[in-house]
Structure 1
Amino acid sequence: MSAPRFLVDELPSGETSRLAGPEGRHAADVQRLRPGEQLSLADGRGGVATATVITAERGALELRVDGRWQEPPADPRLVVVQGIGKGDRSELAVQAMTEVGVDEIVPWAAARSVTRWQGDRGEKAWRRWGSTAREAAKQSRRAWLPVLSDPANTAAVAARLATAAVALVLHEEATDRLSGVPLPATGEVVVVVGPEGGVAPAELSVFAEAGAHQVRLGGSVLRTSTAGVAALSVLQARLHRW
């Protein structure tokens, strides 16, 4: 099993470092890392360091820094516009999409979204998406945290699609398959995933005017919590990252 990863604001610049705060408590008190064990640190912006535990105390570790490197950002970038779902389905989608390598998630207040992000409730829901993505990035040993954009309405999504290298809308009635769509060598691949009720006809028209193409994954209709994950898996394989 690979060494556990912990997220830090800045990578250590010296030969030794102290891991404290929430990450230090998790490493020392929950995972119970001990002297001689290895771990890795990431700043969420591509920077990674490997380290060995020198001493462990309650809530903190003293580390010897063994190496550092910078991982380049993904290109093309994979962006998913995720229709806001009800209950925990949206958070399940965020978790799984982060694990399979999404570069940016755009919460979309679609016409058929049952849940509405308004006021404090909306702010809390957005923050939960961010926390979910952060924990999933740690678990999957990512060097880059996915960007979580501000919630977008349909007009804002259309504007984003218009600037993408490739813009795709998942729809069960589409005739083209995601596996056959030409992909760019650089830029953004933006995929729209509807909420539980799917993408409304008026939204499909707006997105088509912005240059988006409708595609399907296969013969079955997937939930909003799994469609984005399936699409990302296809794209990762086609881009030879998997």
Structure 2
Amino acid sequence: MALHFVVDAAADARVDDRVALTGAEAHHAAVVRRVREGERITLGDGRGAWLTAECESVGPKEVVVRVIAREEVPAPTPRLVLVQALAKGDRDELAVQAATELGVDEIVPWQAARSVSRWEGAKKAKGRARWQAIAREAAKQAHRAWIPEVAEVATTRELVGRAAASRLVVLEPTGAERVSGLDVAGSRDVVLIVGPEGGIAPDELAGFSDAGATIAVLGDTVLRTSTAGPAAVAVVSTRLGRW
């Protein structure tokens, strides 16, 4: 499979156009992945553009390619959204990385009641930017035409507000239904909600349930917050026919 790179210029490039990879992307192509002149690669803008190109010149600061084919990849529908509670260490970041590789379409950081990590003040923008960078690199690794958007950190009340337009599924070990048995067909977004290390607080569960969310369990074992979301994304992707 051809190596894949992400550049904004892919949005407007057409067949026979030249596109330059610069900065970190050029370094990654030339120094890390060691592309060669004449080698074919793929390019995307993270918003559906998909180009096949041939390398014409390769340097550590600039790689110039010629576009030989272009495709527009439609965005998946219904969308698959992961609401990931903020967690200590890098567990939430591991969830972002794996869920992106597995095909999630949007990631929402959640300031849950039991989240040890707190995004306050300048940390909100910094944390969101960090998650977006992780999602970008994971999407590139997975050769995805669409890079999932990382939303602003959400409160429980804001998540409950999504129930009117989306199918909310709260992952909870005490859930009465299994994720693998859910009927997720339809046009509404499927929103998977994952709690922090200490679990989802009872009043939060009650609020989600009152809003019409499905409280569901993945299986007989209890997964970490870093693995529950990606596991659910994989299961629901199968139910949606993506896999």
- TM-score of the aligned structures, taking structure 2 as reference length: 0.95
Q: Counterpart amino acid of 2:198?
A: G
**CA apart distance, 1:172:** 0.3
Matches within 5 A, 1:134-145: 134-145=136-147
Residue in 2 that maps onto 1:177: 178
Q: Report sequence identity in percent.
A: 48
Deviations 1:92-128 (A, max 9, x none): 0000000000000110000000010012233222211
Alpha-carbon offset, residue 140 of structure 1: 0.3
2:91 to 72, 85, 89: 89
In structure 2, what is the Cα distance between the partners aligned to 1:14 and 1:241? 29
Match of 1:114 in 2: 116
Q: Which residue of 1 aligns with 2:224?
A: 223
Decide which moves more: 105-114 or 30-39: 30-39
Q: 2:24 aligns with which of 16, 22, 34?
A: 22
Contact 2:175 2:217 in 1 (8 A): yes
Could you say which residue in structure 2 is the equivalent of 1:103?
105
SS in 2 for 1:211: coil
Contact 1:162 1:212 in 2 (8 A): no
Structure 1 distance, partners of 2:91, 2:68, is 40
Partner of 1:208: 209
Residue type at the aligned position of 2:2: A
The Cα of 1:146 is off from its aligned counterpart by 0.3
Q: Which residue of 2 aligns with 1:6?
A: 5
- Which residue of 1 is the match for residue 130 of structure 2? 128
1:184, CA displacement in angstroms? 2.2
Structure 2 spans left out of the alignment, 5+ residues: none
User: Does structure 1 retain, via aligned residues, the 8 Å contact 2:9–2:19?
Assistant: no
Distance 1:70 1:187 in 2: 23
1:225 is aligned with what amino acid? S
Shift of 1:23: 1.1
| Matched positions, count | 240
After superposition, the CA RMSD in angstroms is 1.2
Cα deviation for residue 209 of structure 1 reads 1.5
Amino acid in the other structure paired with 2:118:
R
Judge conservation of contact 2:4–2:43 (CA < 8 Å) in 1.
yes
Residue 21 of structure 1 deviates from its aligned partner by 2.5
Secondary structure of 2:8's aligned partner: coil
